[in-house]
Amino acid sequence: MNQHVPVTERFWARVTKAGPDECWLWTGGKNTYGYGILRTESRGRARGAHRYSWELHHGAIPDGMQVLHKCDVRNCVNPAHLFLGSNQQNTADKMAKGRHVVLYGENQIFARLKASDIPEIRRLYAEGLSQGAIGEAYGVGRGAIGKVVRRTNWKHVE
All domains of the chain in start order, with CATH: 7-96 (3.90.75.20), 105-149 (1.10.10)
Please check whether residue 156 is in contact with residue 104, taking contact to mean a CB–CB distance below 8 angstroms. yes
Residues found in the chain: 158
Distance CA 79, CA 50 (A): 8
Residue 139, φ and ψ in degrees, nearest 5: 75, 30
The predicted-structure confidence for 97-115, as pLDDT tens digits, reads as follows 877 666 667 766 677 899 8
Work out the pLDDT band at 137, boundaries 50, 70, 90: very high
Residue 43 has pLDDT above 80, yes or no: no
User: CB burial class (10 A; 0-12, 13-18, 19+) of residue 77?
Assistant: buried
pLDDT at 158: 84
